[in-house]
Amino acid sequence: MTVTGLLTKVRSVAGIRSGAGLRRDGYLPLEAYGALGDGRTVALSGADGSIDWWCVPNLDSPPLFDRLLDAEEGGRFVITPDEPYETERRYLPDSNVLETVFTTASGSAKLTESINSGTAGRLPWAELARRIEGINGTVRFQLEMRPGRRGRAASPYQSQIGRHSVFHVGDVLGLLLHSGGVAVDRSDEVVVGSFAVRSGQREVIAVIAGEGEPLVVPPVEDIDERIDVSDAEWRAWAERVAYGGQNRPAFIRSVLVLKLLLFSPSGAIAAAATSSLPEGIGGAKNYDYRYAWVRDAGYTIKAFLAAGAQPEAKAAFTWLLNTPRKKSVSDRLSAGF
């Protein structure tokens, strides 16, 4: 999975819901994705408003959203205008919070996305938050949240627990939470909905999930606030990067990408956030790139040291030293998490 092109503005005319101007045979080009993360997992958000990859709760967990690998039946979390649109997107400065502006004939709106953290660090649950704000005019959106089948190993279904409709995918429990202006219809397979935002109005939609653990139901207002908290935490971390040379913004962006690939519970560095993408289309080589490869980890540790990111370098190096002692010889070159 490459990250080149994620800083560039993505402009294209897209069709209703499907993003026909961006997708070919149902798939987006990889450079049309932005990455969101919290130190435990990474989600890929497409320029057409579809989150097509997210493993819950960890980088090496089976995917909850996997449209990246299966355009027809894969899981996805879509928020997209219901009329043709153009998009401009960027990361917020020195942050891994992603911003997409949709412009339609009737108005424009901004989508801000984050896998949230708290003021004390990573949350003890997975919180994928999406805020939609009206800029001018009125923009109508369609919503679809379709859990995947975790590699065809589980069948999603919904149950009612108290006042909340909970989705189940294997051992993963989750909620789709939203603010008051969003209307939804739910079934076992999918949640669909619609809403509109006008200038100055905002709606918040989030997926809260965990595996084999109690499910937390935070107020939507807290989720909304944590988008800004997460942005501030990213900026505070980037500010401490020790680099005073030319093109500091590009250097910071590269280090932020590496930071997303550091699995904070162990210090392992994933080779990529995605699974099983072929080395070449139609080729025979097809690896799970969520493994932490010894060579790549070594390069990343060196990059962290060059950036003055000593905690990250130390965590990764400790994992690298300890893991071969716990693995057989055959596992050493591709030790996972």
Per DSSP (E only), the strands in 227-317 are 262-263, 268-269
Whose tokens are 């932020």? That residue is 256
Residue in the block written with tokens 């210090």: 267
Distance from C-alpha of 188 to C-alpha of 55, rounded to nearest angstrom: 20
**With contact defined as beta carbons under 8 Å apart, do 112 and 227 qualify?**
yes
What is the CA angle 120-123-129, rounded to 5? 115
**39 within 8 A of 122, measured Cβ to Cβ:** yes
Model pLDDT, residue 285: 73
Q: What is the pLDDT of residue 121?
A: 78
The CA-CA-CA angle for residues 298, 233, 9, to 5°, reads 80
201: its two tokens: 């109005």
State residue 228 phi and psi, 5-degree precision: -70, -35
pLDDT digits (tens, 9 = 90+) for 35-76: 999 999 999 999 999 999 999 999 999 999 999 989 999 999
- CB of 149 within 8 A of CB of 170? no
Name residue 305's amino acid.
Answer: L
- The residues, ordered by sequence, that sit 6+ positions from 181 with a Cβ below 8 Å of its Cβ are 195, 196, 197, 201, 203
Q: What is the pTM of this model?
A: 0.88
Choose among 1, 176, 183: nearest CA to 75.
176
Q: Coil, strand, or helix at residue 191?
A: strand
Q: Report d(CA 101, CA 103) in Å as an integer.
A: 6
Which 3 state secondary structure label does DSSP give 199?
A: strand
Please tell me whether residue 5 adopts helix, strand or coil conformation. coil
**Residue 267 near residue 319 (C-beta atoms within 8 A):** yes
207: which strand partners? 128, 176
Q: Looking at the DSSP assignment, which residues form a beta bridge with residue 161?
A: 164
Q: For the chain, which ranges sit under pLDDT 70?
A: 1-21, 279, 281, 325-337
What does the pLDDT look like over 76-132, one tens digit per residue?
Answer: 999 999 999 999 999 999 999 999 999 999 999 999 999 999 887 789 999 999 999
Structural domains of the chain in order of their starting residue, each with its CATH number: 30-224 (2.70.98.50), 240-334 (no CATH)
Residue 245 has a pLDDT of: 83
Q: What is the C-alpha separation between 269 and 271, in angstroms, rounded?
A: 6
Q: 63, exposed or middle or buried, with CB in 10 Å at 0-12, 13-18, 19+?
A: buried
Number of neighbours of residue 18 by Cβ within 10 angstroms:
14
Residue 215 contacts residue 172 (beta carbons within 8 Å): no
Tokens 């092109």 belong to residue: 5
